[in-house]
Chains A and B, each alone.
Chain A
Amino acid sequence: MWTQSFFPAIARAVSQWRLAWLFAAANLTEARRVNKIALTTPFLSVLLQVGFLGLVYGALFGADIKHYIPYLAVSLALWHSISVFVTNAVGYNDIANRHLNFTTLSPYTIHLSGLIETILLLLAKMLAACLVVIAIEQGVPAWTNLLMTVIGMIVLALFMFFLGILVAYVFDWFRFLRALLPQLLFLAFLITPVIWQKEQLQRIAWLADFNPLAHVLEIVRAPLLGESLPWTSLGIVIAMTGLMAVLGILVHRANRTLVLFRWVA
């Protein structure tokens, strides 16, 4: 199905949602059987990290723990999910190549299954983050905030889907980047408001606004923490998603060549 153009291939991938779901479920089942890692692991990891890191970083940044811990819980849940997704997306072309002989398979069904898997992991992490928010804020967020959080997550999912297509292409074309991925993600982690808050930059807080990832986190984090939906961030993320879709069209043919003809040396 690599002969299809971009949007028909996307539409076909969506029509193959059942297969994408089975792929994602198969990955989780394999992880559970081989490594004993189930969805409880990401759930517990958020609780553990927030418990240990929250106190340490809160003290380090001189933050108000009551506000900082929920912020950290939601930020870590989101960041871990996005970074795991990017790490997996690097190998999507390899997986697509291994399934080339299934001629009805859309090239983007693999991407969709990766997204489903990430959403399941994100939900497990967000559940832990929500428990932290409820415990510390001593109440369930208002339903309007929950609704806005869901809207933010839908936009985040679309953003990640198109991001995955570009990541797969770029990291396949420039294969040396694969070795640098952990460092790149760590750098992005350090310059993005995940463990620190934008306000802590004080006079240069505006710098964070130039970091696209800050907006990506904000569209889910802000409403869940009781703030209103950040429309500017939402607009920026939607615009970035549109831009990535256009770039996806542009690289579709070149990406097809990368998937069909792998490196021989």
Chain B
Amino acid sequence: MSRIKLENVSVEIPLRGLSHIRHESQRVVRKSNGEIVIHALNDISFEAGPGARVGILGANGSGKTTLLRTLAGVVPATSGHISITGEVHAIFDLSDGMRFALTGRENARLRYYLLGEPGGSEESFVQEVKEFADLGEFFDLPVNIYSPGMLSRLLLAMSTVKHADILLIDEWIGVADQAFQKKVSSRINDLIMSNDVFVLASHSRDIIERTTDHTILLEDGEITRVGKSHEIHNISS
């Protein structure tokens, strides 16, 4: 049974190379050892079990991405306890790991192993990417000749093949191509439905309301409100 549990989790991010700050604040402070840090997250606690669809809403710099990266195990907690049961698939930056001198097929092969060899063979992964991206002969040409639209197709196809128990998405994924956007939305909805736990961080109240059941409102690295997503318009930030 997949589950996420955070208890009093705080995350500090050291600002390496910064020797002085003009104004200290509650979030940007100089520690006693002289190190300047941002209190990115402060005393975060929440739990999400099977079937949970959680939205994280907040302004820029509120700590949404740090929270997702902490859940993914990318950023360690400075204090508190994190318990994750189940396999995590994080979709943060679609272009991560992209090699522009390689072909679409070569990038798909590389992505298969970067994702930790998700279920199925390398061939079936590449085939699925090829069919979804629908790039025709361009799939076997170097990516650096792709148009932005073609590149989006490939990136989306590679990022949404893997199924996992816990899906984390940082900002909703959109493309300019309307026909492809339908295909993408349908694919992501399937991906969400096939996961036990889904967590989406976004600026957009509409998207959070549409895709999640519960919403956590983050402000300056702290949870200020928790509520049902359909009541999101009543949650003031």
Q: Convert B112-140 into 0s and 1s, putting 1 for each residue whose CB lies closer than 8 angstroms to a CB of A.
A: 01111000000000000000000000000
**A16 and B13 contact, CB distance less than 8 A:** no
Minimum distance in angstroms from A35 CB to a CB of chain B:
10
Q: Given B13, B72, B88, which contacts A261 in the complex, CB threshold below 8 Å?
A: B13
Secondary structure type dominating chain B contacts: loop
Cβ contacts under 8 Å, B96 to chain A: 98-99, 101-102
CB < 8 Å: which of A18, A99, A256, A262 contacts B97?
A99
> Are A30 and B101 touching (Cβ within 8 A)?
yes
- Specify the chain B residue showing the minimal Cβ separation from A173: B16
Which residues of chain A come closer than 8 Å to B115, judged between CB atoms? 102, 104
Separation of A105 and B96 alpha carbons in the complex (Å): 13
Q: Check if B113 sits within 8 Å of A19, measured CB to CB.
A: yes
Q: How far is the CB of A141 from chain B (nearest CB, A)?
A: 38
Residues of B within 8 A of A2 (CB): 74, 76
| Residue pair B74, A264 in contact (C-beta under 8 Å) | no
Query: Does A205 sit at the interface, judged by CB under 8 A?
Result: no
Is the pair B102, A30 in contact by a Cβ cutoff of 8 Å? Answer: yes
A260 to B90, CA, bound (A): 16
Contacts of B90 in A (CB 8 A): 101, 103
Contact of A103 among B15, B19, B73, B76 (CB under 8 A): B73
CB distance from B31 to the nearest CB of A (A): 14
CB distance from B201 to the nearest CB of A (A): 14
Q: Which residue of A lies closest to B142 (CB)?
A: A33
Residues of chain A contacted by B75 (CB below 8 angstroms) = 260
Task: In the complex, identify which listed stretch (A21-29, A60-68, A84-92, A227-235) lies at the interface while the others stay far away.
Answer: A21-29
- How many A-B pairs have beta carbons closer than 8 Å: the answer is 76
Q: Residue among B15, B101, B110 with the most chain A CB within 10 A?
A: B101
B74 touches A265 (CB 8 A): no
Given the known inter-chain contacts A22-B109, A29-B106, please indicate yes or no for A100 contacting B114, CB distance below 8 A: no
> How far apart are the CA atoms of A1 and B90 in the complex, in Å?
13
Q: Is the CB of B76 within 8 A of A3?
A: yes
Instruction: Answer whether residue B227 sits at the interface, using C-beta atoms and an 8 A cutoff.
Output: no
Taking the complex as formed, is A263 at the interface, i.e. its CB lies under 8 A from any CB of chain B? yes
**Chain B stretch 69-110: residues in CB contact (< 8 A) with chain A:** 69, 72-76, 88, 90, 92-93, 96-97, 99, 101-102, 106, 109-110
- What is the CB-to-nearest-CB distance from B40 to chain A, in angstroms, rounded to a whole number? 10
Q: Are A260 and B76 in contact (CB under 8 A)?
A: yes
Alpha-carbon separation in the docked complex, A104 to B72 (Å): 10
| CB of A204 closer than 8 Å to a CB of B | no
CB closest residue in chain B, given A253: B76
Q: Using Cβ atoms and an 8 Å threshold, which residues of chain B touch A261?
A: 13-14, 16
Q: Given A99, A258, A262, which contacts B114 in the complex, CB threshold below 8 Å?
A: A99
Name the interface residues of B39-92: CB closer than 8 Å to any CB of A.
69, 72-76, 88, 90, 92
Contact of B17 with A by CB under 8 A:
yes
Q: Are B110 and A26 in contact (CB under 8 A)?
A: yes
**CB pair A34 B74 closer than 8 Å:** no
- List chain B residues, Cβ under 8 A from A262: 16
Q: Are B93 and A101 in contact (CB-based, < 8 A)?
A: yes
Q: What mask results when residues 117 to 158 of chain A are scored 1 for a CB within 8 Å of chain B, else 0? A: 000000000000000000000000000000000000000000
Q: Report the nearest A residue to B89, measured CB to CB.
A: A103
User: Which residues of the partner chain A approach B14 to less than 8 Å between Cβ atoms?
Assistant: 257, 261
Partner of B72 from the list A18, A19, A33, A103 (CB cut-off 8 Å) is: A103
Q: Is B18 an interface residue (CB 8 A)?
A: yes
The listed residue (A16, A33, A99, A263) touching B17 by CB distance below 8 A is A263
- Are A26 and B99 neighbours in the complex by a CB distance under 8 Å? yes
Cα distance A30–B97 in the bound complex, in angstroms:
14
A264 near B113 with CB under 8 A, answer no
CB-based nearest B residue for A27? B99
B20: nearest chain-A partner, CB-CB: A265
How distant is the Cα of A153 from the Cα of B226 in the complex, in angstroms?
Answer: 60
Q: Could you say which residues of chain A place their CB within 8 Å of the CB of B69?
A: 101
Known A101-B72, A261-B14, A265-B18; further 14 A-B contacts with Cβ < 8 A: A3-B73, A22-B110, A26-B110, A29-B102, A30-B102, A99-B97, A100-B74, A101-B69, A102-B114, A103-B72, A103-B88, A104-B115, A258-B16, A261-B16
What are the 5 closest A-B residue pairs judged by CB atoms, nearest first? A104-B116, A19-B113, A30-B101, A265-B17, A263-B17
